[in-house]
Amino acid sequence: MNSHEYVTLRKWPELMEPAAAWFHSKWHVPKEAYLECMQACLSGETEYDWYLCLTDGRIAGGLGVIENDFHDRKDLKPNVCAVYTEPDYRGRGIAGQLLNMAVSDMRDRGISPLYLITDHTGFYERYGWEFLCMVQGDGQPEMTRMYIHR
């Protein structure tokens, strides 16, 4: 059985480069965009952070908290973004643990509520997220579901 270690980028800044490359490989957002957000986190420019699950020394899952996740509702911030768990590790509660970790950490910093956009239904509700509204993703023809965690 693999043991999972949940960490933040603030506490493990040496993960910035590998985490940016990992997120880029999953979402195809330029690595530089991840590095820019992560550097803002590490420099104290923002209170937001990045959350990772490490298993046997490799990233098994992760997510970030950023100002806006490429949608038209700039007033609904901050946003959880880039939620991803490696296929081999799905169904083990990793994404839920990361979501709960981010919500708790942000709340401890006085940041609440959090928002996220997704096409999934039924998943985020298990972790206390509620459907809020439909939003227009940047350059997307279809509207996307927005959730809130109060």
**Chain segment 113-147, per-residue pLDDT in tens:** 999 999 999 999 999 999 999 999 988 899 999 99
> pTM of the entire structure?
0.95
Which CATH superfamily does the domain covering 4-112 fall into?
A: Gcn5-related N-acetyltransferase (GNAT) (3.40.630.30)
pLDDT the model gives residue 32: 98
C-alpha to C-alpha distance for 64 and 91, rounded to whole angstroms: 20
Write the DSSP assignment of 17-79 as a string of letters. Answer: HHHHHHHHHHH---HHHHHHHHHHHHHTS-S--EEEEEETTEEEEEEEEES--SBS-TTS--E
Give the residue-averaged pLDDT of 80-104.
97
**Chain segment 33-90, per-residue pLDDT in tens:** 999 999 999 999 999 999 999 999 899 999 999 999 999 999 999 999 999 999 999 9
Long-range contacts of 97-102 (CB under 8 A, 24+ apart): 97/4, 97/6, 97/53, 98/6, 98/51, 98/52, 98/53, 98/61, 98/62, 98/63, 99/63, 99/124, 99/127, 99/129, 99/149, 100/127, 101/6, 101/8, 101/51, 102/49, 102/51, 102/63, 102/65
pLDDT the model gives residue 24: 98
Give the residue-averaged pLDDT of 9-31.
98
pLDDT the model gives residue 94: 98
C-alpha to C-alpha distance for 97 and 51, rounded to whole angstroms: 10
C-alpha to C-alpha distance for 1 and 94, rounded to whole angstroms: 14
| Annotated domain spans of the chain | 4-112
pLDDT the model gives residue 145: 96
pLDDT the model gives residue 139: 87
For the cut 90, the answer to whether the pLDDT of residue 93 exceeds it is yes
For the cut 60, the answer to whether the pLDDT of residue 1 exceeds it is no
